[in-house]
């Protein structure tokens, strides 16, 4: 398979709380991360908003006051969701 990504991915398993106004917050596990985004594993158990929606994410248990990060849902697969980091540029 030809990999065409701008940023290489790194396998990383962290708990992340995902929040959106149209759903209850859920804590999911990341599968991998890159400079531009993260993939969170849902295994079909958690339904996130549709592609194009903006959610907030916050790493759980790794630091005292982790920042909230805005992310856009860019891909939905049977086992998880691809999220792109949004910046205030």
Predicted confidence at residue 5, as pLDDT, reads 63
Q: Where are the domains of the chain?
A: 10-85
Tell me the two tokens of residue 87: 């910046």
pLDDT-based confidence at residue 1 (cuts at 50, 70, 90):
very low
By the 8 A CB rule, do 72 and 29 touch? no
- Asked if 38 and 14 count as a contact pair (C-beta separation under 8 A), the reply is no
pTM for the model: 0.87
Q: What is the CATH number of domain 10-85?
A: 2.40.10.220
pLDDT of 12-51, one tens digit each?
Answer: 999 999 999 988 899 999 999 999 999 999 977 778 899 9
Residue 3 has pLDDT above 60, yes or no: no
Question: Residue 59: in which H helix or E strand, if any?
Answer: strand 54-59
Which tens digits make up the pLDDT trace of 69-89?
Answer: 999 999 999 999 999 999 875
Which SS3 state, helix, strand or coil, does residue 60 take? coil
């Amino acid at each position: 398979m030809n990999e065409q990504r701008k940023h290489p991915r790194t396998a990383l398993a962290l708990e992340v709380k995902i929040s959106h106004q149209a759903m209850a917050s859920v804590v999911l596990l990341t599968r991998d991360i890159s400079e531009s985004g993260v993939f969170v594993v849902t295994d079909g158990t958690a339904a996130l908003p549709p592609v194009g929606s903006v959610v907030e994410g916050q790493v759980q248990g790794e630091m005292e006051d982790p920042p909230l990060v805005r992310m856009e849902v860019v891909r939905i697969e049977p086992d998880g969701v691809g999220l792109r980091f949004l910046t205030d540029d």
